Amino acid sequence: MAGHELYQAPWNFLGLPENLSEPARSRGWLLPVPYESTTSYGAGTRDGPAAILAASRQVELYDHEFGEEPALSYGIHTTLPLNTVHSSPEAMINSVEEAVAGLLAGAPCPEVLGVLGGEHSISAGVVRGLARARSAESLVVVHVDAHSDMRDEYEGSPYSHACAARRILETCPIFQIGIRNLSSDEAKFLHRNPKKVRTVFAEEATDPKGRFLRDLAQFVQKKRVFFTIDLDGLDPSIMPSVGTPEPGGISWERMLVIARTVTANAAAVPVFDVVELAPIPGLRGPDFLAAKLVYKLFSYTLNGRKKK
Ligand SMILES: [Mn+2]
C-alpha cells in the first residue's frame, strides 16, 4: 500500500502537481520575496511568503465563482524565493527590479507574474522591473493600502516601505484605494498632484454604493496595470496580521469587486503583488485570506478576463 496520500502535496502555491507548476506549462508565476528591513512597527513580514504558500495548500482548487478549478486551465509556477540583500534598502529594490525584469524577459516567461512580500518597499523594484522589461508606456498602478506611502523619505531612506507609492510614482500614475493614515506633508503632496495620484480614502472605498469603481474602471481602461496590494488596506478585523493595522478598511467582498473591476477593464495586468503579511503564530485566517486572494488574482487575470 504505497498510496499517494502518504506523501505531501508539492511545496508550491496550491500544492500543484508538476504538470501544472512547471515553468513552461504555467501561465502564472509566483515570486516569493521574503524581505524585511524598514518595517517601522510590528515585524514579521519576512515570514509572509512562506505563510501564504503554506496556507495555499489548504485552498480548495474549485472556485464557486467560476464553477470549475481555474488553476487547472492556466497552471502556476512558484519560483524559488528571491535572495534578500541587506546592504541597503536601495540594493534590495535594485535586486527586485533585476529579478522581475529577468523573469518577464525570459523564455519561457509568465503571462502574469505575482510577487509575494515581504515589505511594501519591494513594489518600487517590481514596477521598475516591469517598466524595463515591457516599457513604461501606458503603464499605471492600482494601489490598495491603509497608508498613502507618499513620503519622499522615511527614517533616512527614500526606499522605506513608507515611501513605496512615492517611488512608484516616479514610474507611472497611481490610483490608491483604502487610505486612512497619512502625514500632513503627504496630504499636501496629494493635493498638489491630482493628475498623478487619485486617492480614494477609506470612507469612500467602503461606501456601499462604491461610486469610485466607475473612476477606477476608467483609470485602467486601455492601460497595462501593476496591481499592488498592501494587506493592511483590508479591515484589520479580517486582516490583523500586518505590521501597522489601521481601523476601518476594505472588506473581503469589496476587495474582490476592486480586483474584478481592475482585471475586467484593463488592457492587461501583467504583474501584481500582495505584500506586508506578518503572520501571527496560530492565527491562520489571515494567511488563508492572503492565499485565497492570490488565487483569485490569478484566476481573474488568466481565466476570468472578459473578452472585449
Ligand atoms: Mn500600508
* 254-281: pLDDT as tens digits: 999 999 999 999 999 999 999 999 999 9
Beta bridge partners of 225: 140
Q: How far apart are the first and last CA of the chain?
A: 52
Q: How far apart are CA 32 and CA 274, in angstroms?
A: 10
| pLDDT for 5 | 67
Q: Which domain holds residue 150?
A: 23-302
Residue 205 Cα to ligand 1 middle (Å)? 15
Q: How far apart are CA 76 and CA 189, in angstroms?
A: 39
The helix/strand/coil state of 193 is: coil
Q: What average pLDDT does this structure show over 50-59? A: 96
Q: What average pLDDT does this structure show over 202-228? A: 98
Residue 224 Cα to ligand 1 middle (Å)? 23
Residue 289 Cα to ligand 1 middle (Å)? 17
Residue 112 Cα to ligand 1 middle (Å)? 24
| pLDDT for 1 | 44
How many C-alpha atoms does 278 have within 13 Å on its Cβ side?
A: 22
Residue 146 Cα to ligand 1 middle (Å)? 5
Residue 308 Cα to ligand 1 middle (Å)? 34
CA 50, distance to chain mean position in Å, is: 15
| pLDDT for 8 | 75
DSSP 32: E
Measuring CA to CA, how many Å separate 5 from each of 1, 2, 57, 60, 190? 10, 8, 14, 17, 55
| pLDDT for 43 | 82
Cell digits of residue 173: 500614475
Read off the CATH number of the domain in which 127 is found.
3.40.800.10
Cell digits of residue 152: 519622499
Residue 10 lies in a domain: no
Q: How far apart are CA 234 and CA 245, in angstroms?
A: 9
Residue 11 lies in a domain: no
pLDDT band at 304 (very low <50, low <70, confident <90, very high): low
Residue 232 Cα to ligand 1 middle (Å)? 5
Q: What average pLDDT does this structure show over 10-37? A: 95
pLDDT band at 306 (very low <50, low <70, confident <90, very high): very low
User: What pLDDT digit, counting tens, does each position of 252-261 carry?
Assistant: 999 999 999 9
When divided into structural domains, the chain yields a total of: 1
User: What pLDDT digit, counting tens, does each position of 86-141 carry?
Assistant: 899 999 999 999 999 999 999 999 999 999 999 999 999 999 999 999 999 999 99
- Percentage of the chain beyond pLDDT 90 is 89
Q: Which is more confidently placed, 149 or 43?
A: 149
Residue 4 lies in a domain: no
Residue 275 Cα to ligand 1 middle (Å)? 9
Measuring CA to CA, how many Å separate 257 from each of 17, 213, 246, 254? 30, 9, 21, 5
Residue 192 lies in a domain: yes
Residue 229 Cα to ligand 1 middle (Å)? 9
Q: How far apart are CA 34 and CA 93, in angstroms?
A: 13
How many C-alpha atoms does 218 have within 13 Å on its Cβ side?
A: 6
Q: With 60 as the cut, is the pLDDT of residue 21 above it?
A: yes
Residue 294 Cα to ligand 1 middle (Å)? 18
| pLDDT for 177 | 98
Residue 11 Cα to ligand 1 middle (Å)? 29
Residue 181 Cα to ligand 1 middle (Å)? 9
Burial classification of residue 265, based on how many CB atoms lie within 10 Å of its CB (0-12 exposed, 13-18 middle, 19 or more buried): buried
Residue 230 Cα to ligand 1 middle (Å)? 5
Q: Tell me the pLDDT of the chain averaged across its residues.
A: 94
Q: With 80 as the cut, is the pLDDT of residue 41 above it?
A: no
Residue 6 lies in a domain: no
| pLDDT for 308 | 37
**From start to end of the chain, where are the E strands?**
28-33, 76-78, 112-117, 139-144, 174-179, 197-201, 224-230, 268-275
Q: Which is more confidently placed, 172 or 39?
A: 172
Residue 119 lies in a domain: yes
Residue 12 lies in a domain: no
Cell digits of residue 100: 522581475
Q: With 70 as the cut, is the pLDDT of residue 235 above it?
A: yes
Residue 14 lies in a domain: no
Pairing of strands 174-179, 139-144: parallel
- The contacts of residue 60 (CB under 8 Å, 6+ apart) are none
Residue 233 Cα to ligand 1 middle (Å)? 6
Q: How far apart are CA 153 and CA 121, in angstroms?
A: 12
Residue 131 Cα to ligand 1 middle (Å)? 23
| pLDDT for 6 | 76
Q: How many CB atoms lie within 10 A of CB 84?
A: 17
User: What pLDDT digit, counting tens, does each position of 238-249 carry?
Assistant: 999 999 999 999
Residue 196 Cα to ligand 1 middle (Å)? 19
Sign of CA dihedral 134, 220, 254, 171: positive
Residue 209 Cα to ligand 1 middle (Å)? 24
| pLDDT for 10 | 81
Residue 242 Cα to ligand 1 middle (Å)? 8
Residue 20 Cα to ligand 1 middle (Å)? 33
Residue 44 Cα to ligand 1 middle (Å)? 14
Residue 92 Cα to ligand 1 middle (Å)? 19
Q: With 60 as the cut, is the pLDDT of residue 178 above it?
A: yes
| pLDDT for 143 | 98
Sign of CA dihedral 228, 151, 174, 188: positive
